[in-house]
């Protein structure tokens, strides 16, 4: 089974498997969106079915909610959960200070709300997601559909004064139509190349009328679990200032590898 997975998928799996150990009985846990987070949901579903783990999951997208229910996880909304013990999610990029770019899957608004409502945020990623400077991955900015072209023009003008390499902006599409988020908004993808001051850019973007939220997660992530294709894991804790290592051996008949949806 595992032999059929690419090294990247193996890296995502081992990071997700290790992160699942953070979830304990009775917790309220934010469940992220994306391919790496999908591995986490499968791991947690296996623990629910086979180990009797009981927790409440708060999904960050309709896709994650559907998968969590399929896996037998007790799914509740954030308003019901109120506050979370932990959120586990993926990232499109992370730097040495554990600042993130997220939103490649289009769920950045719900992801940021859920992460901000958590005592702890753990990010799971493969090693390719680590960068010296954020910005190589396009930065998603969620905007209201009304006047989105005007909002785009405002963002373009603002980028002239920002420390970035590129300033191209594209409207994210779903076929021939604009991509629409779970909250009914559009996404502008900013192709910046390199972001010199991510904190400043995040603040400036969110001050613009028409901008709902941006995909820069600054001072939100506490721990990054980095998976490698050979089963190695690095655990980086920004609060403790520690880096530890672990390893997960692949099990060829693992139920997680059956009927994969991704």
Alpha carbon 34 to chain centroid, angstroms? 7
106 known member of a binding site? no
102 known member of a binding site? yes
90 known member of a binding site? yes
9 known member of a binding site? no
161 known member of a binding site? no
Distance CA 238, CA 148 (A): 37
Distance CA 248, CA 251 (A): 9
230 known member of a binding site? no
Q: Please give the C-alpha separations between residue 205 and each of 40, 62, 199, in angstroms, as whole numbers.
A: 31, 26, 10
135 known member of a binding site? no
Q: Confirm whether 111 is a catalytic residue.
A: yes
89 known member of a binding site? yes
CA atoms within a 13 Å half-sphere pointing along the CA-CB vector of 146:
3
103 known member of a binding site? yes
34 known member of a binding site? yes
Give the bridge partners for 56, in sequence order: 28, 74
Residue 147 neighbours by CB distance under 10 Å: 13
104 known member of a binding site? yes
Q: 155: buried, middle or exposed (CB in 10 Å: 19+, 13-18, 0-12)? A: buried
Q: Please give the C-alpha separations between residue 46 and each of 37, 118, 155, 176, in angstroms, as whole numbers.
A: 14, 24, 44, 38
129 known member of a binding site? yes
The terminus-to-terminus CA distance of the chain in angstroms comes to 15
- Report yes or no: 206 and 213 within 8 Å, Cβ to Cβ: yes
Active-site residue, selected from the candidate residues 71, 93, 111, 213 = 111
11 known member of a binding site? no
Token couple for 75: 């799914």
Q: Nearest-5° angle of CA 69, CA 7, CA 238? A: 70
Give the active site residues.
111
Binding site for substrate, by residue number, is 33-36, 89-92, 102-105, 129
Binding site, by residue number, is 33-36, 89-92, 102-105, 129
């Amino acid at each position: 089974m595992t032999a059929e997975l690419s090294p990247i998928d193996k890296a995502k799996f081992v990071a997700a498997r290790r992160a699942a150990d953070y979830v304990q009985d009775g917790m309220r846990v934010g469940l992220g969106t994306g391919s790496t987070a999908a591995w986490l949901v499968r791991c947690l579903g296996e623990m629910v079915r086979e180990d009797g783990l009981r927790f409440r999951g708060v999904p960050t997208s309709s896709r994650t909610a559907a998968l969590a229910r399929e896996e037998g996880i007790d799914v509740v909304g954030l308003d019901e959960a109120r506050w979370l013990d932990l959120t586990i999610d993926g990232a499109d990029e992370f730097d040495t200070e554990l600042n993130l770019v997220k939103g490649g899957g289009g769920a950045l608004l719900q992801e940021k709300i859920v992460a901000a409502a958590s005592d702890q945020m753990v990010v799971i990623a493969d090693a390719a997601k680590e960068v010296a400077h954020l910005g190589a991955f396009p930065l998603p900015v969620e905007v209201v559909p009304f006047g989105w072209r005007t909002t785009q023009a405002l963002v373009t003008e603002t980028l002239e004064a920002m420390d970035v390499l590129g300033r191209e902006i594209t409207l994210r599409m779903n076929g021939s139509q604009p991509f629409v988020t779970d909250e009914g908004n559009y996404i502008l993808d900013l192709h910046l190349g390199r972001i010199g001051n991510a904190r400043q850019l995040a603040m400036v973007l969110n001050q613009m009328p028409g901008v709902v939220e941006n995909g820069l997660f600054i001072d939100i992530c506490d721990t990054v679990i980095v998976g490698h294709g050979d089963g190695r894991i690095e655990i980086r804790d920004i609060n403790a200032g520690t880096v530890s290592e672990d390893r997960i051996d692949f099990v060829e008949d693992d139920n997680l590898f059956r009927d994969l949806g991704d």
